[in-house]
């Protein structure tokens, strides 16, 4: 009898009743919004990556297999774009984490003007990335830029440096601007984790004779490690998909020397009108981030981290 009842219950169609229907209709607008503006563009982009989708020939759109991916990977610009993307992420991430941790440790202490100092540190995160790129573009200007002016007044250089006209200097300039922009995010996240550390731990460590460095190494860093791991993962994803500063400062120039995957994709759309190859680059970015996320989570076991 028990088996028959279980079989009969399995045959009954699934229906939402009462509270379940109410919850579903409350969530439906959000689910519809995400489906229309996130999942549909994602699926459409994947489909376009396998088509010869260009605005010059909209009447002859066909599936061409992996041709777009082959064209992108075999492009003479691809190795430089990949290398630039690597340095863009690694250098930005390292210094954002270093300076963000330092600022968070300083802001944890109580001092006069602490609120003003925190607002000053967090201010860049409230600004548009494109606007920040324009500001730093003028700061690095060879003729009117404040950076060249300060370097000349301090006697470090004899003539203005064309920061944005030289490939190496331009890449360094956009990375510096991105570091300045992203430090605030690390400082916010780490400061939130620091404020959750019980003061009793530091008092007990001080009574045992632990130095400041030992407290930092034995208490602070282990306690905020889960937050740092999650924050690093988020920043890697955002930095690789963040073309705003580069596009505002250099447009990927000079001669494509500051292109990363995101700006390279934009160039394919704006100048080449080739949505097929641009979508292929987007799929490559997604695959890179997916592989990185899987290996990162496995290596750090970040899924077991604490709250942040």
Could you tell me the pLDDT band of residue 158, with boundaries at 50, 70 and 90? confident
pLDDT in tens, 260-302: 999 999 999 888 888 999 999 999 999 999 999 999 888 887 4
Comparing 174 with 112, the larger pLDDT belongs to: 174
Q: What pLDDT score does 90 carry?
A: 96
What is the full DSSP assignment across the chain? -HHHHHHHHHHSPP---THHHHHHHHHHHHHHHHIIIIIHHHHHHHHHTTB--BTT-GGG--B-TTHHHHHHHTSTTHHHHHHHHHHHHHHHHHHHHHHHHHHHHHHHS--TTHHHHHHHHHGGGGS-HHHHHHHHHHHT-TTT-HHHHHHHHTTS-SS---GGGSHHHHHHHHHHHHHHHHHHHHHHHHHHHHTTS-HHHHHHHHHTT--HHHHIIIIIHHHHHHHHHHHHHHHHHHHHT--HHHHHHTTT-STTTT--HHHHHHHHHHTT-BHHHHHHHHHHHHHHHHHHHHHHHHHH-GGG----
* Tokens read off for 246: 């580069």
Give residue 13's pLDDT. Answer: 55
CA separation for the pair 41, 26 (Å, rounded): 24
User: Would you state the pLDDT for residue 305?
Assistant: 42
pLDDT for the residue numbered 211: 86
Between CA 217 and CA 226, with CA 222 as vertex, the angle to 5 degrees is 145
Q: What is the pLDDT of residue 303?
A: 45
pLDDT tens, residue by residue, 13-67: 556 566 778 888 888 899 999 999 888 988 999 999 999 988 887 788 899 989 9
Ranked by mean pLDDT, the top range of 24-38, 80-94, 110-124, 188-202 is: 80-94
Position 3 pLDDT exceeds 70:
no
Share of the chain above pLDDT 70, in %: 92
Across 222-248, average pLDDT: 92
Indicate the pTM of the whole model.
0.85
Q: Which long-range contacts (CB under 8 A, 24 or more apart) does 204-212 make?
A: none
162-191 pLDDT, tens per residue? Answer: 999 998 999 999 999 999 999 999 999 999
pLDDT at 18: 63
- Mean pLDDT along residues 66-86: 94
Based on the number of CB atoms within 10 Å of its own CB, is 118 exposed (0-12), middle (13-18) or buried (19 or more)? middle
- 102, two tokens: 């330092």
Does the structure show a pLDDT above 80 at 148? yes
**CA 82 vs CA 31, 226, 261, 293: distances in Å:** 35, 29, 7, 18
Nearest 10 degrees: Cα torsion 255, 257, 262, 266? 0
Place of tokens 């064309």: 162
CA distances from 103 to 5, 51, 189, 232, 271 (A): 64, 48, 11, 16, 41
Q: Partners of 51 in the beta sheet?
A: 63
Question: Tokens at residue 131, please?
Answer: 């606007």
How does residue 6 score in pLDDT terms, banded at 50, 70 and 90? low
Structure tokens at 92: 């930005």
Q: Is the pLDDT of residue 2 over 80?
A: no
Average pLDDT, the chain: 87
Structure confidence at residue 7 (pLDDT): 53
Q: What percent of the chain has pLDDT over 90?
A: 48
């Amino acid at each position: 009898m028990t088996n028959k009842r279980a079989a009969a219950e399995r045959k009954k169609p699934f229906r939402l009743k009462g509270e379940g229907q109410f919850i579903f209709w409350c969530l439906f607008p959000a689910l519809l919004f995400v489906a229309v503006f996130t999942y549909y563009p994602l699926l459409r982009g994947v489909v376009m990556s396998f088509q010869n989708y260009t605005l010059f020939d909209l009447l002859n759109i066909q599936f061409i297999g992996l041709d777009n991916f082959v064209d992108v990977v075999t492009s003479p610009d691809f190795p430089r774009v990949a290398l630039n993307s690597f340095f863009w992420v690694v250098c930005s991430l390292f210094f954002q984490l270093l300076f963000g941790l330092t600022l968070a440790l300083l802001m944890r202490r109580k001092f006069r003007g602490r609120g003003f100092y925190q607002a000053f540190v967090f201010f860049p995160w409230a600004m548009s990335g494109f606007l920040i790129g324009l500001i730093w573009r003028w700061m690095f200007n060879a003729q009117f830029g404040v950076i060249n002016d300060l370097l000349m007044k301090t006697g470090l250089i004899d003539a203005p440096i064309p920061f944005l006209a030289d490939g190496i200097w331009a890449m360094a300039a956009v990375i510096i601007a991105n570091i300045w922009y992203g430090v605030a995010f690390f400082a916010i996240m780490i400061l939130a984790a620091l404020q959750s550390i019980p003061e009793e731990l530091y008092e007990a460590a001080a009574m045992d004779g632990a130095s400041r460095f030992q407290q930092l190494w034995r208490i602070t860093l282990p306690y905020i490690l889960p937050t740092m791991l999650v924050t690093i993962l988020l920043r890697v994803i955002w930095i690789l998909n963040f073309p705003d500063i580069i596009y505002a400062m250099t447009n990927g120039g000079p001669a494509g020397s500051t292109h990363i995957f995101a700006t390279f994709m934009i160039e394919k759309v704006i100048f080449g009108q080739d949505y097929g190859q641009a979508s292929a680059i987007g799929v490559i970015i997604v695959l890179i981030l997916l592989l990185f996320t899987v290996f990162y989570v496995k290596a750090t076991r970040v899924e077991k981290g604490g709250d942040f």
